[in-house]
């Protein structure tokens, strides 16, 4: 078997939760990070980063892409080979768009390809979920589309959720970070039965709303009682941006992942006006935000092998 010496892996950003689907649903978006792995004959790992916010990413062995690369070889009980990793960043860091999931999936997929693919896609997925701690970013980052993940005692069941082709996500990405760790610390460890029932009902409605683009269902479905009411306080301007999105015809707005990016679900007719209004509302609050009208990525992680 001739070993691959160089591979480039492209991984999409993801939005997790979609309102009521806390820690179990996520969708891949058309915004990407790129990871190039070159096997070296000898020497140490070298890591370089280019693109948006490149200067914020560690280039030593604590780099998350390298950590994933090492985790893969540890899983096989092998020593990782010396490698050059080149990272091209377009997914902003710690903004709720799954940057850490791109790094984990990129590192694992790259390592698997360099090693001649000893692991199946579902084995790679399980390693990725274990590293991230929850499935809702890494699963769509790996597989693409909108995905629901549920675990039994032993396995993960992954289900593709139909996404109506009229639905467009608009993201407003503010210029401040919110780490997932910090955004999880504000959540209660126990919730009331009423809140659990509220989320169960709204999650069911969300699945049917995503499938049909039924506007009444979607408007109601994006509400949640498990995380957003607690996290709103960490996102100045949340109410103003929400009102702006709704006033321009969005079905609704949610916190993307752990935030602080806010994501409106809309359609082609309204997406431009919704994006402009969300950016303007944040500007009035003194916060600069980049707004982007995206689509659902259906491919997930993809790779190009250079022999
Ligand atoms: N391309 C990358 N290369 C290396 N490390 C990265 C990369 N992207 C993200 N990370 C690491 O992941 C951290 C951000 O992870 P965090 O979970 O806080 O936010 P997120 O994944 O962007 O948001 P969310 O999980 O809410 O979608 C960064 O601080 C960095 O350590
Ligand atoms: N489900 C996770 C996604 C962010 O990693 C959360 O909301 O904390």
Distance CA 8, CA 303 (A): 5
Mind spelling out the 3-state secondary structure of 250-284?
A: CCEEEECCCCCCEEEEECCCCHHHHHHHHHHHHHH
Segment-wise mean pLDDT, segments of 10 residues, the chain, 307 residues: 85 98 98 97 93 94 98 97 97 96 98 97 97 97 98 92 98 96 96 98 98 97 97 96 98 98 97 98 97 97 91
Fold equal for 6-161+296-306 and 168-293? no
Predicted pLDDT at 211:
98
Query: Domain residues of the chain, as ranges?
Result: 6-161+296-306, 168-293
Distance CA 206, CA 215 (A): 11
Q: 46-70 pLDDT, tens per residue?
A: 999 999 899 999 999 999 999 999 9
The CA angle 93-158-266, to the nearest 5 degrees, is: 55
Distance CA 48, CA 27 (A): 28
- Residues annotated within the binding site for ATP are 92-102
Regarding the beta carbon of 100 and ligand 1, being less than 6 Å apart is answered: yes
Which among 60, 49, 41 has a CA at the least distance from the CA of 3?
Answer: 41
DSSP 153-198: SS-EEEEEPP--TT-EEEEEEESS---HHHHHHTS-S---HHHHHH
Q: How many CB atoms lie within 10 A of CB 110?
A: 28
What percent of the chain is modeled with pLDDT above 70?
99
Predicted pLDDT at 221:
97
Q: Which ligand is nearest to the CA of 230?
A: 2
* This prediction's pTM: 0.96
Predicted pLDDT at 82:
95
Q: Considering the domain 6-161+296-306 in this protein, what is its CATH number?
A: 3.30.230.10
Predicted pLDDT at 115:
95
Distance CA 63, CA 47 (A): 8
What are the helix (H) ranges across the chain? Answer: 64-75, 99-114, 121-132, 138-143, 180-185, 193-212, 215-221, 228-231, 238-247, 271-284
| Minimum CA distance residue for ligand 1 atom 13 | 100
According to DSSP, the residues that pair with 34 across neighbouring strands are 10, 88
For residue 260, is the peptide bond before it cis, meaning its omega torsion is within 30 degrees of 0? yes
Regarding the beta carbon of 178 and ligand 2, being less than 6 Å apart is answered: no
Cβ(136)–Cβ(25) under 8 Å?
A: yes
Is the four-CA dihedral 103, 109, 113, 115 of positive or negative sign? positive
Radius of gyration of the chain (CA): 19
Q: 118-166 pLDDT, tens per residue?
A: 999 999 999 999 999 999 999 999 999 999 999 987 899 999 999 999 9
Q: What spacing in Å lies between the alpha carbon of 98 and ligand 1's midpoint? A: 7
Predicted pLDDT at 152:
87
Predicted pLDDT at 118:
97
Regarding the beta carbon of 230 and ligand 2, being less than 6 Å apart is answered: no
Q: What spacing in Å lies between the alpha carbon of 17 and ligand 2's midpoint? A: 7
Which ligand 1 atom lies nearest to the CA of residue 15? 27
The answer regarding whether domain 168-293 maps to CATH 3.30.70.890 reads yes
Predicted pLDDT at 4:
81
């Amino acid at each position: 078997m001739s070993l691959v010496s160089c591979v480039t892996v492209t991984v999409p950003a993801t939005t997790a939760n979609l309102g009521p689907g806390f820690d179990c649903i996520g969708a891949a978006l058309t915004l990407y990070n790129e990871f190039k792995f070159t096997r070296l004959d000898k020497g140490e790992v070298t890591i370089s980063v280019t693109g948006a916010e490149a200067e914020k990413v560690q280039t030593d062995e604590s780099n998350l892409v390298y950590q994933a690369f090492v985790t893969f070889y540890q899983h096989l009980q092998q020593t990782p080979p010396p490698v050059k990793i080149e990272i091209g960043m377009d997914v902003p860091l710690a903004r709720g768009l799954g940057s850490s999931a791109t790094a984990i999936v990129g590192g694992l997929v790259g390592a698997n390809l360099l090693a001649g693919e000893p692991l199946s896609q579902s084995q790679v997925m399980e390693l990725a979920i274990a590293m991230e701690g929850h499935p809702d970013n890494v699963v769509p980052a790996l597989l693409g589309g909108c995905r629901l993940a549920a675990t039994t005692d032993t396995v993960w069941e992954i289900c593709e959720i139909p996404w109506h082709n009229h639905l467009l996500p608009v993201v407003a990405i503010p210029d401040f970070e919110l780490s997932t760790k910090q955004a999880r610390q504000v959540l209660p460890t126990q919730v009331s039965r009423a809140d659990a029932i509220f989320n169960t009902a709204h999650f069911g409605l969300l699945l049917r709303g995503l499938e049909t683009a039924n506007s009444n269902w979607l408007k109601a479905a994006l509400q949640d009682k498990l995380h957003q009411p607690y996290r709103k306080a960490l996102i100045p301007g949340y109410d103003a941006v929400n009102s702006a999105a709704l006033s321009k015809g969005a079905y609704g707005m949610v916190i993307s992942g752990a935030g602080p990016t806010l994501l409106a679900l809309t359609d082609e007719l309204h997406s431009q006006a919704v994006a402009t209004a969300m950016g303007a509302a944040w500007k009035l609050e003194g916060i600069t935000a980049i707004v982007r009208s995206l689509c659902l990525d259906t491919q997930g992680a993809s790779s190009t092998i250079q022999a």
